[in-house]
Structure 1
Amino acid sequence: MAGRGRPRAFDRAAALRGAMETFWESGYEGTKLTDLTAAMGINSASLYNAFGSKEELFREAVALYGATAGSATGRALREKPTARGAVEAMLRGNIDTFADPNTPAGCMIVLAAANCSQQNREVGEYLAGWRRRAVAELEARLEQAVSEGELPAGTDVRSIAAFYATVLHGLSVEARDGVPLERLSSTVDHAVALWDSLVGRAAAPQP
């Protein structure tokens, strides 16, 4: 028989997924401890014993999101043979997640700490760091395309990466506002159609 007062065993992975979806839906500050314990199927003592604190739990939940639902960007940048194809796959893969009716709308990394108060600024900065790394990965993929000759020498990869990251973040907000997948897809069509003009405009004149 279990000792008196011993915490009940639970599925940590399933509990973490419940926390991830709760933070994704309600944001860091909008999520209460009671929301978490209900979603995770555990009591507060088990939560603190297993995860340490709300902030530590949030960081684990964000990491889980990045490895699962939020993995479309990294996968597209690694797997597609051209930079243009990678950018298009990044946008389309993400909107499929943003508009999935079985999960919260939009991107957790964009939305979960959008309005953090000063006392939770470290949480906001943590997510900002994730976003900066994603932009850096996109920029690196564009630099690879320059080195391989797909894009002309002198292409301003930073500006192009910033443009498509901004489009992606806007799509997340639109999805949270209830914009349907077909309209998100239309926005992606227009963004991808700008590729040639962006590359041409961003490339330095060649002698």
Structure 2
Amino acid sequence: MGRNREFDTETALEAVLRVFWRKGYEGSSYTDLTEATGVQSPSLYSAFGNKEDLFRCALVRYNDRYLDYVPEALALPRAGDVVAYLLDRAVDLNTRYPDRLGCFVINGLLAGSDEAEPIRLALVEARSAQEAGLRRRLERAKDEKDLDARADPAVLAAFVMTIQHGIAVQAKSGIGRMVLQPVVRQALSTWPEGACSNSVRSDRRDDATPR
């Protein structure tokens, strides 16, 4: 019979995630991972596989545990609210933990050797999947006249992702939410609302006007 593991895999994986989040893939050594988890290399290998396997497991956990706000945002009724929620939550997540500022995905993408190319591609795929989901949501908004008829959902999705990535890089460098939140407000001020959005806002103003 195999020997039972003497550590909690969920706790260990969270510790691994934090190391990769802080240092990126190549900046994290196996010594960093074993010290963070308190688990020796053979046991970590047995539970998760090699370093690349560990990173992929951490990426799945990051998406599940820390990016749960993305589907919440996409479910909102108005495109402008979707984008505002995404950017506001990005500022919150990227500045929330002093020991791991920035974004797990962007921190891993910023530098990498040829040997780490499979990890870079996995991170590009994760980023592309989020952008594609946002693009589809904005295409629906355009069909519903919640976006200006001249708006390009693909360009807008790329714009939002670019702002998110800038937030991540700035947060990693130590820029706090007091600076980043006004940046979000400035980005949102350019949002191309459609006839449906404008009508809803007009109705709300009329309702609020004293009679």
Q: What's the TM-score once normalised by structure 2's chain length? A: 0.87
Is the 2:91–2:177 Cα contact (8 Å) retained in structure 1?
yes
* Residues 65 and 71, structure 1, Cα contact 8 Å, conserved in 2: no
Of the three residues 135, 152, 159, the one matched with 1:156 is 152
Match of 1:192 in 2: 188
Q: Give the residue type in structure 1 aligned to 2:171.
A: A
CA contact (8 A) 2:147 2:192 kept: no
Residue 196 of structure 1, CA deviation: 2.8
Partner SS state of residue 99, structure 1 = helix
2:28 aligned to which of 13, 28, 31: 31
Cα separation, 1, equivalents of 2:128 and 2:109: 15
Please tell me the residue identity of whatever aligns with 1:188: V
- Equivalent-residue separation in structure 1 for 2:159 and 2:108 (angstroms): 22
**Shift of residue 145, structure 1, vs aligned partner:** 0.5
Is 1:125 paired with 2:138? no
Q: Which runs of 5+ in 2 are unaligned?
A: 196-211
Q: Secondary structure of the equivalent of 1:195?
A: coil
What does residue 52 of structure 2 align with? 55
Number of aligned residue pairs: give it: 195
One-letter amino acid matched to 2:151: T
Tell me the residue number matched to 2:61: 64
Aligned 8 A contact 1:114 1:124 in 2: no
Runs of 4 or more consecutive aligned structure 1 residues displaced over 3 Å after TM superposition: none
1:58-110 alpha-carbon deviations (Å, 9 max, x no partner): 001011001112333332112x1111000000000111010013551111011
Q: Percent of pairs identical after alignment?
A: 35
Aligned alpha-carbon RMSD (Å): 2.0
Which amino acid letter does the alignment assign opposite residue 86 of structure 2?
A: M
What is the distance in 1 between the residues matched to 2:148 and 2:67?
31
Deviation at 1:113, TM superposition (A): 3.3
Normalized against structure 1, the TM-score is what?
A: 0.88
* Aligned counterparts, 1:1-207, within 5 A: 6=3, 8-78=5-75, 80-101=76-97, 104-196=100-192
Deviations 1:138-178 (A, max 9, x none): 10110110122212445311111111110110000000000
